[in-house]
A and B are shown apart, each in its own frame.
Chain A
Amino acid sequence: MPSNPQNILQVQNLSKSFLGVKALDNIQFDLRKGEVHALMGENGAGKSTFMKILMGLLKPDSGEIIFEGEILKSNSVHENLRKGISMIHQEILVVPELTVAQNIFLGRETNYRSWLNDKAINQKAQEILDLIGVKINAQTKIKNLSIAEKQMVEISKAISNNAKVIIMDEPTSALTDNEVTMLLKIIKDLKAKGVAIIYISHKMDEIYEITDRITVLRDGQYIATKNTNELDKNALIALMVGREINDLFPVNNSKKGERIFSVENLSTKGKFENINFEIKAGEVLGIAGLMGAGRTEIARAIFGLDKYDSGEIILKGNKVEIKSPEDAIRNGIGYVSEDRKALGFIPALSIKDNISLSSLANFSKAWFVNSSHEHEAATQLSKDLKIKSTSINQKVMTLSGGNQQKVVIGKVLLTSPTLVILDEPTRGIDIGAKFEIYKLINQLTDKGIAVIMISSELPEILGMSDRIMVLSKGKQTALLSKHEATQEKIMQYAVN
């Protein structure tokens, strides 16, 4: 492929393997000046390996990267940064105790004379923040900023670096709608200034709103590069998963049983108040609301992770006291947290050990774990949930996000719950795995398990729920049936 002068970055025949397994196989990619280029693919498709190579974190086995017409040979992040390749990370990497300005110039303080010169740094940082239209004071400490603001700081850092290529990896996964709008506007401004952006996201709306071209990877292979306006959503999904998914939300025909769980006047000061709902066996109750509306807080209270101030939790007609997750699990409540890394799994333990963790006592006699029973159960679940791994003894930290989520769900299922709370069950996982999780929800309700699903994605809430509770600022503003609910109605109640 001849190098095109329009391209700021061109990647040819890039390959990389880990311990004999090909993570990237002959990747082709080109990036034009002033372009927003989406990189799409399921988790495990090779996107992050590819980005790590571009950043200089990993060295490719073969192939070359041509940056501004020259072959990029370095394998140091620092050098690539200096040349103008920056990355906004999925997990934000700013130092909380330093100020915004100090973070922006972290590691490059010496550019502004040999002594630390806070005044010069503050001034320069403020200029950049104003330039991208962010209302943040350069002298605030990072710890006082919201996640969105931290991201803006990261972007400012990239700009201050005279970045010519900015890689954004799931930049909106933790942002509110307003913040997303602002970020997208900033991206458009950057683009107008000639900065090229590689944009990784699972959110289709964003992809269609801001990207010019889309490159799809699947299983480490290069699949295609298309202009965004020539590729419709279904075709894109087909390219990503290698097959057509006609209806993302599988039909749920589960029979609804008796009421098995309800809360009455549940309140915790400053978080939520007077929450009332009930749920029947085999039913899916969706909880919608903006960030900070109290959705996760309610789930945490029901599961015993936090104390609640007043109200009652009634399980199968009996009032229950839940003071710890231990109590909750014993009473048949399972919780899949939105924060998979912090609350979901033990990274250094195996798939088997994680799956059995909550129900280990059931596999034990007089303190001793019956490992053959445990092994059997974990193998079965791993198969049922289609967890992709070399064996069930593989450490969970080496799995992709979707597979990690399946492990967490497996752990909850093994406790034989009557109620499962899924908090943002599909956040940060790819379409194929999302679809599998939706199917799984239906399998649960088929078995008569009640499901509470908290989600920020309205199509998901509408597609999966039998009833939808909407929260706004800690208050319950609506309880809608599947038939009466629409995206507009939910949003109205959510901003109420």
Chain B
Amino acid sequence: MLNRLRQYGIFVVFIIICLILSFISPQFLTVSNWTIIITQASINALLAFGVTFVIITGGIDLSLGSMVAVTGVTAAMLAHPDTFPVALPIFAGLLAGLLMGVFNGFIITKSKIAPFIVTLGTMTIGRGLALILSKGRPISNLSDSFNFIGGGEVLGIPFPIIVLIIIFTICSITLKKTLLGRYIYAVGGNEQAARASGINVNQVKMAVYSISGLLAGLAGVLLTSRITTGQPNAGAGFELDAIAAAVIGGTSTSGGTGTMTGTLVGVLLIGVINNGLDLLNVTSYYQQVVMGIIIIGAVVLDSWNQKKD
């Protein structure tokens, strides 16, 4: 029992914070507020799921925010009303993300340069590409069908939440139940031993960076649709929120451990804190301090728990 509790340490923290907030703010524990929290968290969630795969292999992806901008702008350019069917801008956005992810994976596996450096490079390249494609201006006047993705509802549930649930399920199953998932843990746990066990390490790395890019593409499309414009400077700093969510959720930056459920809790924790501090009208200056403390606190708590094991 005690072990179980430790395993879910961050989940307990999450519940405690929710309890505190619901005592202070009467609006906090309402269906409509939670709908908003989850909708707002959906974009960070997609990025965090992608980067969780990457971090478990022992890598990192700093280009997430830039990929969001490139893919968002790409989708927006093709999403004006009465031009193409809505599937095209969505597909183009996803493809742009996938290509950038493949590029990351290709350079990382071929050059053996640290993922930190490679994705730092693509982060800058991506930002430049987004500005070039959009000529530095936001792209607006998007079709209603495109705007539905981020703003529409199905059976009263906002579409981004539906996307979140579907993607979470797929990622979770991929990590837990598939060959790829097991190989991801193996590569992160001991890359040399994974190779000696007959795993094609490069293929696994290609796969995780591609997935990360693809999900960043989806996040880009969702964001563009949600704010109904393609913004070249969108997504700046998103990678840090995503990495923070994964780490808060128990993914070790040294690789080999982590779960999608943990990351989801991390994402929701960040979302809840943002929402709660706004509800309580805490000054922006303090918001940043509080968020930082919670990130460090969560990780410290987690490492204590791991040491005890």
Contact = CB atoms under 8 A, between A and B. Distances in A.
Contact of A326 (B177, B178, B186, B200): B200
Contacts of B182: 353, 357, 360, 369
A367 interface: yes
B253 to A, nearest CB: 14
A325 B179 contact: no
B190 A325 contact: no
Contacts of A337: 196
A361 B203 CA distance: 15
Contact of A353 (B185, B192, B200): B185
B179 A360 contact: yes
Contacts of A368: 177-179
B189 interface: yes
Given A346-B185, A346-B256, A368-B178, A358 B193 contact: no
A234 to B, nearest CB: 37
B195 interface: yes
A492 interface: no
B180 interface: yes
Nearest to A305: B196
A311 interface: no
Contacts of B200: 324, 326
Nearest to A370: B177
A325 B196 contact: yes
A335 interface: yes
A369 B179 contact: yes
B55 to A, nearest CB: 14
Nearest to A396: B189
B178 to A, nearest CB: 5
B190 A357 contact: no
A345 interface: yes
A376 to B, nearest CB: 17
B17 interface: no
Contacts of B224: none
Given A364-B179, A368-B178, A346 B186 contact: yes
Contacts of A344: 193, 196
Interface residues of B, number: 21
Interface in B182-222: 182-183, 185-186, 189-190, 192-200
Given A346-B256, A361-B179, A325 B197 contact: yes
Contacts of A353: 182, 185-186
Nearest to B203: A326
Contacts of B190: 342, 345-347
Contacts of A328: 198
B74 to A, nearest CB: 29
Residue among B177, B193, B198 with the most chain A CB within 10 A? B198
A165 B71 CA distance: 65
A120 interface: no
Nearest to B196: A343
Nearest to A344: B193
Interface string A329-366: 11000010100001111111100010001101100100
Contacts of B179: 360-361, 364, 367-369
Contacts of A367: 178-180
Contacts of A364: 178-179
A295 interface: no
Nearest to B174: A367
B119 interface: no
Nearest to A411: B197
A325 B178 contact: no
Nearest to B187: A346
A201 B204 CA distance: 40
Given A368-B178, A371-B177, A347 B189 contact: yes
B257 to A, nearest CB: 6
Contacts of B198: 324-326, 328-330, 357-358, 415
B199 A326 contact: yes
Contacts of A371: 177
Interface in B70-113: none
Contact of A348 (B178, B195, B257): B257
A346 B185 CA distance: 9
B208 to A, nearest CB: 15
Contacts of B186: 346, 349, 353, 357
Given A325-B198, A369-B177, A348 B185 contact: yes
Given A348-B189, A353-B185, A369-B178, A335 B256 contact: no
B189 A346 contact: yes
Residue among B195, B196, B200 with the most chain A CB within 10 A? B196
Nearest to B252: A348
B61 to A, nearest CB: 21
A41 B190 CA distance: 30
Contacts of A330: 198
B195 A325 contact: yes
A303 B182 CA distance: 22
A133 to B, nearest CB: 37
A349 B257 CA distance: 9
Contacts of A347: 189-190, 256
* A-B CB proximity, top 10 nearest: A346-B189, A329-B198, A348-B256, A343-B196, A357-B197, A358-B197, A348-B189, A326-B198, A346-B190, A358-B198
9 contacts: A326-B198, A329-B198, A346-B189, A347-B189, A357-B194, A360-B179, A360-B182, A361-B179, A415-B198
Interface of A: 303, 305, 324-326, 328-330, 335, 337, 342-349, 353, 357-358, 360-361, 364, 367-369, 371, 411, 415
Given A347-B256, A367-B179, A415-B198, 5 more contacts: A325-B195, A325-B198, A349-B186, A349-B189, A364-B178
